[in-house]
C-alpha cells in the first residue's frame, strides 16, 4: 500500500466511508473477492471507536484490535485514505457519481450523541453540559502534547444521564480523575489507568487514605428505569420469567460491584425534565420521577431538583449526518435495512452501526446470557480476568461479515468498470494521499501518528 497506487487486474472498485472494525472488515472481505477497496477515514488513524469509544485503561484490548485492523489493511487491494471527512474534504455526490466506483459503502459508525431531550439543553453545551463522545475523546487524548480537541473540566458532584455500559464509563472517568487529582495535590501520582485496575478504595488505601479523606463529592448516575433494567447485558431472546429474573439480579449485583470499586451513586426511576441555570451556566437539573408500567418508564406527578455543576449526557450514539443523504429521524433513510440501501443512491450500501444506529461497540445481542455477563464484567473491570476475552473486533466482524459477502455478490453481479476507470480512481487516491502528506505506506503514516496510551 503506497501513496502511488498502481493499476491492477481488478475490474471492481469500492469506496468505504469509515475504517475501524466494520469498515476494515468489509474492505478485507471485498479485497479477498478481488475487489479494490478504498477506505476514506475522517480520523488520522483507522481505529474508530476502538480508539475513541474505549477509555484508555483498555490498553491491552485496544492494542490487540489495532494489530488486527492493521493486518487486514495490509491487503494489496486495500488503500487507506485518512484525514478525509465526507461532506467536508470530499463531496458525497461527487464521490458516488464521478469517481468511478462500482459502489460506495457507509461504514462510518455512530459518532453523534443522541440529543438530551430537555428544552434548551443545547444552549448549555460547554456551560456545564457535555456529551459522551467528545467527553471520552477528551479523556483519551487530553494528555497528548499535540491534542487540540474539546476541553472538559471535571467537576465534583457531576451527574451522568444514561444507564448503559458507556454511562458507567463516564462515571468511572469522573471519579477516577477526581481521585487522581486529589492525590496529586498531596504529591502522590497515581494514574487513572492504574487506579481503574485496582479500584479507587484499594488505590487510596495504599496511601492510607479513603475517599472521605479526599473530601470529593462523587458523581451520580440518573436512570429512567430500575437498576435491574440497565442495558449492561442483554437477556437472551425467548427467555422465560425465571431467566429474566436471574438476569435482573445479575445486573443489580454487577452495578453494586461497580459502585463499590468506583464509588459512584445511582438514582433510578427518574429522568431530566429541565435545566437549572444561573447567568447562562448550568447549575442543576429538575428531575421527573418515573415508574415502570408494562416494561416501560412512565412519568409520575412527582419532581425534584438536583444541584450539580456538570452533566454528562450518555443516552446513546447515532450516525453523523452526511450532506446529500436523506435522514429519517436519527438514522439514514435506508430502504433495505439488510444491505443498507438508499433510494437516491442505488450503488450505496450501509454496514455496521451506521445501519443499526447503535454506538455500543460491545453490543452482545446474539450472545447467550452467561457470555454477555462475562463480557460486561470484563469491560467494567469487575472480573479477575478483566481486560481479556472481550473479542470486540471479532464480534463486529461476525456482525458485518455476512452483509459484506452479500454486498460483494451484489457488486460483482453488476457490470465491471474499465481498467481506465480503475486507473482514474487510483490516481484520485494518490492525489488525496499527496494532499494529506500520507507518505510511503500505512506503517510510515501510523509511525508518525502514534498516541500515548499511558494515563
* pLDDT tens track for 434-449: 999 999 899 999 999 8
pLDDT at 1 over 80: no
Q: What would the mean pLDDT of 411-420 be, rounded to a whole number? A: 92
| CA distances (Å), origin 343, targets 227, 333, 335 | 41, 8, 6
Give the Cα separation of 170 and 316 in Å (integer).
12
Say if residues 21 and 392 touch (Cβ distance below 8 Å): yes
Q: What would the mean pLDDT of 165-185 be, rounded to a whole number? A: 96
Residue 3 lies in a domain: no
Do 144 and 227 belong together in one domain?
yes
Residue 366: pLDDT band (50, 70, 90) is very low
Q: What would the mean pLDDT of 180-195 be, rounded to a whole number? A: 95
Grid cell for residue 149: 480537541
Do 407 and 296 belong together in one domain?
no
Grid cell for residue 118: 430537555
H helices present in 154-235, as ranges: 165-185, 192-198, 200-205, 211-214
Say if residues 130 and 152 touch (Cβ distance below 8 Å): yes
Residue 1 lies in a domain: no
Q: What is the pLDDT of residue 452?
A: 59
DSSP notation for 56-109:
TT-HHHHHHHHHHHHHHHTSTTEEEE-S--BTTTB-HHHHHHHS--SEEEE---
Calculate Rg over the CA atoms of the chain: 23
Give the Cα separation of 76 and 214 in Å (integer).
55
Q: What is the pLDDT of residue 257?
A: 96
Do 290 and 148 belong together in one domain?
yes
Residue 6 lies in a domain: no
Q: Which residue has the higher pLDDT, 317 or 338?
A: 317
Closest CA to 17 of 319, 318, 316: 319
Residue 379: pLDDT band (50, 70, 90) is confident
Do 80 and 140 belong together in one domain?
no
Domain boundary among 253, 283, 315: 315
Q: Which domain holds residue 89?
A: 13-111+318-447
Residue 357: pLDDT band (50, 70, 90) is low
pLDDT at 355 over 80: no
Report phi then psi at 40, rounded to 5: -105, 110
Q: What is the pLDDT of residue 390?
A: 46
Q: What would the mean pLDDT of 371-397 be, rounded to a whole number? A: 63
CATH number for position 342: 3.40.50.720
Give the Cα separation of 337 and 314 in Å (integer).
26
Do 164 and 140 belong together in one domain?
yes
Do 77 and 137 belong together in one domain?
no
Q: Which residue has the higher pLDDT, 388 or 219?
A: 219
Residue 107 lies in a domain: yes
Residue 394 lies in a domain: yes
Residues in the chain: 455
Beta bridge partners of 220: 159, 265
Give the Cα separation of 136 and 223 in Å (integer).
20
Burial of 109: CB neighbours in 10 Å, binned 0-12, 13-18, 19+? buried
Give the chain's domain count: 2
Do 263 and 334 belong together in one domain?
no
pLDDT at 9 over 70: no
CATH number for position 253: 3.50.50.60
Residue 453 lies in a domain: no
Do 90 and 171 belong together in one domain?
no
Q: What would the mean pLDDT of 370-379 be, rounded to a whole number? A: 64
Query: What H or E segment, with its residue span, contains residue 246?
Result: helix 241-262
Give the Cα separation of 327 and 321 in Å (integer).
7
Q: What is the pLDDT of residue 54?
A: 86
Do 324 and 311 belong together in one domain?
no
Give the Cα separation of 230 and 254 in Å (integer).
10
Give the distance from CA 379 to its chain's centroid.
14
Burial of 129: CB neighbours in 10 Å, binned 0-12, 13-18, 19+? buried
Residue 5 lies in a domain: no
Say if residues 79 and 18 touch (Cβ distance below 8 Å): no
Query: What H or E segment, with its residue span, contains residue 313?
Result: strand 311-313
* DSSP state, residue 125: B
pLDDT at 302 over 50: yes
Closest CA to 220 of 258, 265, 257, 279: 265
Domain boundary among 315, 350, 375: 315
Do 357 and 260 belong together in one domain?
no
Q: What is the pLDDT of residue 368?
A: 36
Residues 6 or more apart from 435 whose CB is under 8 A from it?
A: none
What's the order of all strands across the beta sheet hosting 36-40?
78-81, 36-40, 13-17, 103-106, 348-350
Domain boundary among 262, 280, 315: 315
Q: What is the pLDDT of residue 256?
A: 97
Average pLDDT, the chain: 88
Say if residues 360 and 232 touch (Cβ distance below 8 Å): no
Do 276 and 236 belong together in one domain?
yes
Could you give the 3-state DSSP secondary structure of residue 357?
A: coil
Residue 367 lies in a domain: yes
Q: How many CA atoms lie within 13 A of 27 on its CB side?
A: 33
Do 374 and 268 belong together in one domain?
no
Q: What would the mean pLDDT of 339-362 be, rounded to a whole number? A: 77
CA dihedral 16, 18, 22, 25 (to 10 degrees): 50
pLDDT at 387 over 60: no
Each residue's pLDDT tens digit, 77-134: 999 999 999 999 999 999 999 999 999 999 988 888 999 999 999 999 999 999 999 9
Say if residues 255 and 100 touch (Cβ distance below 8 Å): no
Each residue's pLDDT tens digit, 215-233: 999 999 999 999 999 998 8
Each residue's pLDDT tens digit, 220-271: 999 999 999 999 888 888 889 999 999 999 999 999 999 999 999 999 999 9
Q: What percent of the chain has pLDDT over 70?
A: 89
Say if residues 35 and 8 touch (Cβ distance below 8 Å): no
Amino acid at each position: 500500500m503506497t501513496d502511488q497506487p498502481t493499476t491492477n487486474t481488478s475490474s471492481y472498485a469500492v469506496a468505504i466511508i469509515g475504517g475501524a472494525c466494520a469498515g476494515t472488515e468489509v474492505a478485507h472481505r471485498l479485497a479477498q473477492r478481488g475487489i479494490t477497496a478504498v477506505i476514506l477515514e475522517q480520523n488520522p488513524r483507522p481505529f474508530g471507536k476502538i480508539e475513541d469509544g474505549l477509555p484508555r485503561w483498555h490498553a491491552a484490548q485496544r492494542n490487540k484490535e489495532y494489530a488486527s485492523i492493521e493486518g487486514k489493511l495490509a491487503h494489496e487491494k486495500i488503500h487507506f485514505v485518512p484525514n478525509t471527512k465526507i461532506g467536508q474534504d470530499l463531496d458525497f455526490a461527487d464521490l458516488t457519481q464521478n469517481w468511478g466506483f462500482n459502489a460506495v459503502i457507509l461504514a462510518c459508525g455512530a459518532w453523534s450523541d443522541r440529543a438530551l431531550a430537555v428544552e434548551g439543553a443545547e444552549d448549555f453545551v460547554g456551560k456545564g453540559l457535555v456529551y459522551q463522545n467528545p467527553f471520552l475523546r477528551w479523556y483519551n487524548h487530553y494528555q497528548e502534547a499535540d491534542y487540540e480537541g474539546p476541553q472538559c473540566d471535571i467537576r465534583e458532584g457531576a451527574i451522568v444521564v444514561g444507564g448503559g455500559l458507556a454511562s458507567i464509563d463516564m462515571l468511572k472517568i469522573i471519579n477516577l480523575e477526581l481521585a487522581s487529582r486529589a492525590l496529586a495535590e498531596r504529591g502522590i501520582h497515581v494514574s487513572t489507568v492504574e487506579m481503574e485496575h485496582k479500584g479507587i478504595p484499594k488505590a487510596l488505601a495504599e496511601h492510607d487514605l479513603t475517599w472521605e479523606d479526599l473530601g470529593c463529592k462523587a458523581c451520580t448516575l440518573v436512570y429512567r428505569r430500575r437498576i435491574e433494567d440497565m442495558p449492561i447485558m442483554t437477556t437472551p431472546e425467548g427467555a422465560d420469567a425465571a431467566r429474566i429474573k436471574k438476569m435482573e439480579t445479575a445486573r443489580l449485583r454487577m452495578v453494586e460491584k461497580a459502585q463499590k470499586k468506583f464509588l459512584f451513586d445511582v438514582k433510578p426511576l427518574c429522568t431530566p425534565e429541565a435545566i437549572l441555570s444561573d447567568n447562562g451556566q448550568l447549575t442543576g437539573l429538575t428531575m421527573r420521577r418515573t415508574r415502570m408500567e408494562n416494561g416501560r418508564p412512565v412519568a409520575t406527578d412527582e419532581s425534584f431538583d438536583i444541584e450539580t455543576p456538570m452533566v454528562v449526557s450518555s443516552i446513546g450514539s447515532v450516525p453523523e449526518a452526511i450532506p446529500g443523504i436523506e435522514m429519517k429521524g436519527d438514522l439514514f433513510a435506508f430502504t433495505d435495512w439488510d444491505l443498507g440501501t438508499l433510494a437516491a443512491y442505488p450503488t450505496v450500501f450501509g454496514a455496521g452501526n451506521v445501519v443499526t444506529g447503535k454506538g455500543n461497540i460491545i453490543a452482545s445481542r446474539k450472545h447467550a446470557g452467561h457470555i454477555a455477563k462475562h463480557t460486561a464484567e470484563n469491560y467494567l473491570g469487575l472480573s479477575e480476568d478483566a481486560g481479556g476475552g472481550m473479542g470486540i473486533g471479532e464480534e463486529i466482524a461476525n456482525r458485518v461479515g455476512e452483509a459484506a459477502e452479500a454486498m460483494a455478490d451484489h457488486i460483482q453481479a453488476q457490470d465491471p468498470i474499465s481498467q481506465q476507470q480503475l486507473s482514474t480512481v487510483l490516481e484520485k487516491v494518490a492525489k488525496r494521499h499527496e494532499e494529506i502528506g500520507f507518505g510511503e505506506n500505512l506503517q510510515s503514516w501510523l509511525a508518525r501518528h502514534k498516541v500515548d496510551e499511558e494515563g
